[in-house]
Amino acid sequence: MATHTRQAPHEARQHSPEDAVESESNAVPSTTENEETVEPKKRDRKLNFWHWFFFDGDSDAGWKRLTDRWMFFHMAIGGVFTFLVEAPIKEVAGSGVLPLVAILFGLAFAWVGNALALITDSSFKHAARNREGGVKEYAYTYQLAVLTSLCTVVLWGLIAVGVADHLSFAGQAVFKFVLFTIASLTIRECWQVIYGAHRSLIVADEIDQEIGD
């Protein structure tokens, strides 16, 4: 008659070191997988326009381009026109400023297309990568010009439809100052797009000449 020997519970199975390593690897998520998930998110966030506008650390954040020392010049322009223009702000918006700003907006869009075509040139991209901020700096600077123009068109459009009609004389004067200041800033940003496009063309041509030599 065969006899069976029962093993004690603690002797039922002896765990080898390999089993312990395997169980730990199954219990703990792979660090590599986590890094692969996180890295694209970080990259996408850094490539986002709003990240560049508010937080970019590779170079000056985008908002600083609008609040540099030239801002005092634009504020002076806004103050002068607020003092000289005595017509109601709604009349000013509808008769002159809004059409002018709309033209600037269209001009900025047209030149942004030309500028983006230039910065995709291989010679220019090579030079841009050696500059702080790289190609992203040029592309988002052009986008900032379009954003400034768009905001200006919207603000003057709201004034033209009578949003500020209920304001007092002092309130309308403040609105005039802000809107004329923004209009002056928009002219500068549109000029920056044209200047940047021409500069990109010149840089690309100089690099081609150096490569040819």
Residue 32 lies in a domain: no
Closest by CA to 172, choosing from 60, 97, 88, is: 88
The pTM for the full model equals 0.67
pLDDT digit string (tens) for 99-145? 777 787 777 777 777 777 776 767 667 666 666 666 777 778 888 88
Residues of the chain short of pLDDT 70, as ranges, are 1-46, 56-60, 119, 121, 123-124, 126-134, 212-213
Overall number of domains in the chain: 1
Q: Taking all residues of the chain, what is their mean pLDDT, rounded to a whole number?
A: 74
Amino acid 72: pLDDT:
93
Q: Which pLDDT score is estimated for 177?
A: 93
The answer to whether residue 110 is domain-embedded is: yes
Q: How far is CA 3 from CA 6, 10, 20, in A?
A: 10, 21, 33
Identify whether 31 is part of a domain.
no
Domain boundaries, position 72: 62-212
122 lies in some domain: yes
What pLDDT, on the 0 to 100 scale, is given for residue 25?
Answer: 47
